[in-house]
């Protein structure tokens, strides 16, 4: 359905895009360091599910229709920024408490909670939707058949690659964070730095143009 050369080029481009510093991998990094491996991996996998959701929207044409409206784009953008602000506030508010929870295996937040946060943070970001609408069609060859199966395949490959990369970032960040968490005072500041990053990303999203 898609030539080997195109697939290799797509995977190379996707890897570079995913590894390059961006909102998603910075959030995974900060969550992993401040909350631990499970949190970082869970948040990263949530972002991955968001990416595949954007693929479905791009394939069905929903994303293009929705984002054709400036008002809709602005609404989604501000909703995404508001959610990041919420995460930042909660992180700052419970910084000390989260440091103690992370040191208590019985009190660690469930993986599903971090998965949900990563998914929401990614899926309501209209900039990510625009990326998939613009990126995936560049590797589709209409001469090789229907477009939508190729789009789904490319999106699935992108999501799988993202899961590996974000999962690795979360794992390594959690390894670093586990050592730093042994110092409660430092752990509190790690939480606050993570919260500040959420505020910065919220500002970046709120001021972004199409």
Check residue 118 and give its pLDDT: 94
Check residue 44 and give its pLDDT: 95
- Whether 4 maps to a domain, the answer reads no
Per-residue pLDDT of the chain (210 residues), as tens digits, is 678 888 999 999 999 999 988 889 999 998 888 888 888 999 999 999 999 999 998 888 877 776 777 888 888 889 989 999 998 888 887 765 554 445 444 446 788 999 999 999 999 998 898 899 889 888 988 777 778 888 899 999 999 999 999 999 999 988 887 777 666 666 677 778 888 888 998 898 888 776
- Whether 11 maps to a domain, the answer reads no
Instruction: Count other C-beta atoms under 10 Å from residue 84's C-beta.
Output: 26
Tokens of 170: 């979360």
Q: Which residue has the tokens 């784009």?
A: 73
Tokens of 82: 């508001």
- Whether 5 maps to a domain, the answer reads no
- Whether 14 maps to a domain, the answer reads no
Full-model pTM: 0.82
Give the span between the Cα atoms of 136 and 148, in whole angstroms: 10
- Whether 19 maps to a domain, the answer reads no
Number of domains present in the structure of the chain? 1
Nearest-5° Cα angle at 120, 197 to 193: 15
Give the span between the Cα atoms of 34 and 98, in whole angstroms: 9
- Whether 185 maps to a domain, the answer reads yes
Q: How many residues does the chain have?
A: 210
- Whether 7 maps to a domain, the answer reads no
- Whether 181 maps to a domain, the answer reads yes
Give the span between the Cα atoms of 35 and 67, in whole angstroms: 34
Check residue 184 and give its pLDDT: 62
Check residue 36 and give its pLDDT: 83
Check residue 104 and give its pLDDT: 45
Tell me which residue range forms the domain holding 107.
24-206
- Compute CA distances 43 → 7, 26, 48, 135, whole Å: 27, 11, 9, 23
């Amino acid at each position: 359905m898609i030539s080997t050369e195109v697939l290799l080029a797509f995977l190379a481009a996707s890897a570079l895009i995913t590894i390059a510093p961006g909102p998603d991998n910075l959030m995974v990094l900060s969550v992993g360091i401040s909350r631990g491996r499970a949190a970082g991996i869970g948040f990263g996998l949530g972002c991955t599910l968001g990416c595949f959701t954007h693929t479905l929207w791009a394939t069905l044409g929903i994303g293009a229709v929705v984002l054709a409206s400036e008002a809709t784009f602005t609404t989604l953008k501000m909703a995404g920024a508001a959610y990041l602000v919420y995460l930042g506030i909660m992180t700052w508010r419970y910084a000390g408490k989260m440091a103690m929870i992370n040191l208590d295996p019985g009190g660690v937040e469930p993986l599903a909670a971090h998965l949900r946060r990563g998914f929401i943070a990614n899926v309501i970001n209209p900039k990510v939707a625009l990326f998939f609408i613009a990126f995936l069609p560049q590797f589709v060859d209409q001469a090789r058949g229907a477009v939508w199966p190729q789009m789904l395949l490319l999106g699935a490959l992108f999501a799988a690659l993202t899961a590996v990369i974000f999962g690795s970032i979360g794992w390594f960040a959690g390894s670093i964070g586990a050592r730093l968490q042994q110092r409660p005072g430092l752990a509190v500041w790690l939480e606050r730095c993570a919260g500040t990053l959420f505020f910065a990303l919220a500002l970046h999203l709120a001021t972004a143009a199409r």
